Chains A and B, each alone.
Chain A
């Protein structure tokens, strides 16, 4: 499996990371080296093996479906690059 520049561009777009056209060849080459390394896993006989879900056998606990936190909008917004009138502010998303 070899990654070409258009696949690299697609992955960058899915990851929401801007990659300029001139950086794509190096990125594709890096992907190919890393995926080439990962390819070894193809040798392993995994017939009948369950994929690991949890490394320590444990049952996820459930708690009451109640509000346990909240009522602190100032704290929630205190680190936002742009917050106005109690909301996170972003560029227009609806035309």
Chain B
């Protein structure tokens, strides 16, 4: 077959089933492409030996008809997932040298399904960032460039390595995680599909924790069908994660009929934000038209607490992060700072954390420490938890009125140049998540679907938000929109 790396996950699976190619051929094609793509800085730990071993095992399994649903399919794994014996650094210097003795539940499920690991993918440090620029490995680079301009653009964040790798055909699909938009924003910036499942759908066990009440794993893929296949393999109850839901995992792929007649799609008026480029508004209107043409009913809705979502997030996420990241103390794993004569245990902690954490992580840990400290706990943390209740209720009210899914822009802009936000204050970067963060606060599933290009030639995405646990229906609506949009553009290869 000609260029195997151009295949999507479903196409590659079907080609393997028909015997048109082998996992070894597929895997070799990706390993060659990865070697030629160091300029994208997407892979930060390559695992070619593991990949070839698993590919050979997959080809053997296929001959004996023991093939799992992902048998022989090469994937990239975000560095946030612990992978046994393979560096898992969460993009941080403080986890330098850390090789877990265990495997995350999600990646275990993928390997049990027969998938092949190509390597670990770049990300913002501890998933804190929207441009992959806080990574200890340096930023991943977007394979897309503006028309007639060779400036390097961000692939988004925090799952920037995942989005860059999928967009540049360096894997069939990738795992990612989303705490405030870290799957959907990178997908929108790279013309890929990004799905954040309902909180509790995928086990968090073995995924380095950022903000435990918001973190959720999901896929970045080349199509909605591929997202359905990946979610089916990643999801499921896990006794090792007490917040993992005891629900059966439906066959999401079988639910992709493209029939959305009679579905009610809500358009929240609060998502018209000041300063949004007119192109985003136009795209949003096109999305409404596409869904209406497919037989859905479009209704205006109100989610009145939307404007408070980002400030709520920037209390809750740092608070949980300050607690989760307390474990990085230079004692049990990762990096330890060199100590001076006479330094005690507190010096060990303080020096290790000062040199191991980057600026954004330090900032968030300290903001979290502050909002949780005596005297401010009620004013900040408890108040934010109450506003979070109201944000979730906004969605519940919309769904109670019969809304099946909500359509919004995915991001307030297309991909911006690396370094563009260097001198901006931290809050400016936070605004990237303005359309995505509400979904994490409410625990809902959300998906970003590429719908078109802007005048600069860069991809733009729309977000669909679904009812809790109804990823199947959400994927089907996304599938209808994907078909109507007919987005097939790929970045021109320069790397």
Contacts and interface: CB of A to CB of B under 8 A. Distances in A.
B365 interface: yes
Contacts of A8: 366
A18 B427 contact: no
Closest 7 CB pairs of A and B: A55-B443, A51-B385, A81-B336, A79-B333, A18-B350, A18-B354, A46-B386
Interface in B283-342: 305, 307-308, 310-312, 314-315, 322, 326, 329-336, 339
Contacts of A50: 386, 389
A34 B322 CA distance: 15
B366 A15 contact: yes
B389 A52 contact: yes
A30 B315 contact: no
Mostly, the A contact residues are loop
B486 interface: no
A41 B242 contact: no
Contact of B382 (A27, A30, A51, A92): A51
Contacts, number: 164
B427 A37 contact: yes
A79 B426 contact: no
Interface of B: 97-101, 198-200, 213, 239, 242-243, 245, 305, 307-308, 310-312, 314-315, 322, 326, 329-336, 339, 343-351, 353-354, 357, 362-363, 365-367, 369-371, 373, 380, 382-390, 392, 425-427, 430, 441-443, 468
B390 A56 contact: no
Contacts of A44: 305, 308, 383, 386-387, 390
Mostly, the B contact residues are helix
Interface size class of A (residues with CB under 8 A): 35 or more
A95 B373 CA distance: 30
B363 A92 contact: no
20 contacts: A3-B370, A15-B366, A17-B354, A31-B366, A33-B427, A38-B380, A41-B308, A44-B387, A52-B389, A55-B388, A58-B243, A63-B239, A79-B97, A79-B332, A81-B331, A82-B336, A90-B331, A90-B348, A91-B339, A91-B345
Contacts of A33: 425-427
Nearest to B381: A51
Contacts of B100: 79
A53 B339 CA distance: 41
A37 to B, nearest CB: 5
Contact of B350 (A17, A56, A72): A17
Contacts of A16: 326, 329, 346, 349-350, 353
Given A19-B354, A41-B315, 15 more contacts: A3-B370, A11-B373, A14-B373, A15-B362, A30-B425, A34-B314, A40-B307, A40-B311, A51-B382, A52-B386, A52-B389, A56-B199, A79-B100, A91-B345, A92-B344
A21 B430 CA distance: 27
Contact of A17 (B365, B386, B427): B365
A14 B348 CA distance: 14
Given A41-B384, A51-B382, A15 B339 contact: no
A60 interface: yes
A11 B363 CA distance: 10
Nearest to A26: B359
B428 to A, nearest CB: 10
A74 to B, nearest CB: 9
